[in-house]
């Protein structure tokens, strides 16, 4: 029997890309999944399809920059399923631009979603997991959290922060398993948020070789499926042909 069987998994940013693929894969392997995102019409469609395939799924509207909503998200997992085994901080945005462009509002939004959203996920999930005496927090970072590239300074800074937060949480808790997953280029909607012309053109070349989001979903499943005394601390997943 899979280690995923009947585990309760809450996923942010689950309306598309990595979050959606992860929800579908985990549900297919027996997990009970709670999907959160702002696009509820998309969440409803994904949940209906998971249920039609025999899976157990629910959803709720979620803004990860609201601590109150993140706490409600965790509470919904507890009320629907009786607890929470895994919390996946997946939501993220990537409006790249050179620092000289001074797109301060976009910087602020990246900080809010990519850093504050992860912190709020930890703040919401950790108390319940400590009460249960078990739990697993998975934070989706990026290869941008390993090295910086032009037009991506702020984005990379947020992803470096995700790795730092993950390792800090791991060191502070002897109850929680903590995993940070750093994808390389993945087919997703992330690049759609880029408003800077130079960054958009650079991203076209960068994304010529890309993984499908299911590759990252499999890495998530691998980390969860390990025995409870095994913490897979970090996974980097890149396309084989990618130079980055």
Average pLDDT, the chain: 93
DSSP 211: B
Phi, psi of 66 (to 5 degrees): -110, 115
pLDDT above 90 for 192: no
> Residue 63 has what pLDDT?
98
Length of the chain, in residues: 244
Percent of the chain whose predicted confidence (pLDDT) is above 90: 85
Q: Kindly tell me if the per-residue pLDDT of 1 is higher than 60.
A: no
Cα distance between residue 221 and residue 3, in whole Å: 9
pLDDT, residue 190, reads 62
pLDDT in tens, 98-153: 999 999 999 999 999 999 999 999 999 999 999 999 999 999 999 999 999 899 99
Q: Which of 105, 121, 137 is nearest to 62 (CA)?
A: 121
Q: What's the rounded Cα separation, in Å, for the pair 179 and 165? A: 11
pLDDT class of 29 with cuts at 50, 70, 90: very high
Neighbours of 238 (CB within 10 A): 17
What DSSP character marks residue 179?
Answer: E
Please tell me which residue, 205 or 30, carries the higher pLDDT value: 30
pLDDT at residue 19 above 80? yes
Give the catalytic positions in this structure: 155
pLDDT at residue 23 above 80? yes
Q: Two tokens at 83?
A: 């607890």
Please name the residues in contact with 123: beta carbons below 8 A apart, sequence gap of 6 or more. 67, 70, 71
Q: Are 207 and 109 in contact (CB under 8 A)?
A: no
52-107 per-position pLDDT tens digit? 999 999 999 999 999 999 999 999 999 999 999 999 999 999 999 999 999 999 99
Contact, 18 vs 90, CB < 8 A?
yes
**Integer Cα distance of 2 and 226 in angstroms:** 10
Closest CA to 62 of 110, 138, 11: 11
């Amino acid at each position: 029997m899979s280690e995923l069987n009947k585990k309760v998994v809450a996923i942010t940013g689950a309306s598309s890309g990595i979050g959606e693929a992860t929800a579908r894969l985990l549900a297919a392997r027996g997990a009970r999944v709670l999907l959160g995102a702002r696009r509820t019409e998309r969440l409803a469609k994904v949940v209906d399809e998971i249920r039609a395939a025999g899976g157990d799924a629910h959803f709720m509207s979620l803004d990860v920059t609201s601590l109150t909503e993140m706490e409600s998200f965790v509470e919904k997992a507890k009320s629907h399923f009786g607890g929470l085994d895994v919390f996946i901080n997946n939501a993220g945005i990537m409006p790249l631009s050179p620092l000289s462009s001074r797109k301060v509002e976009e910087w602020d939004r990246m900080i809010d979603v990519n850093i504050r959203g992860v912190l709020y996920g930890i703040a919401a999930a950790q108390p319940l997991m400590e009460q249960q005496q078990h739990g697993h927090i998975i934070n989706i970072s990026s290869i941008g959290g390993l090295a910086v590239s032009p037009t991506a300074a702020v984005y990379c800074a947020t992803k470096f922060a995700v790795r730092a937060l993950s390792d800090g949480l791991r060191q502070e808790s002897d109850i929680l398993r903590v995993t940070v997953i750093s994808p390389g280029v993945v087919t997703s909607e992330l690049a759609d948020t880029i408003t800077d012309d130079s960054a958009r053109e650079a991203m076209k070349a960068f994304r010529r070789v890309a993984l499908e989001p299911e590759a990252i979903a499999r890495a998530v499943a691998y980390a969860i499926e390990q025995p409870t005394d095994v913490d897979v601390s970090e996974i980097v997943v890149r396309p084989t042909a990618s130079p980055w």
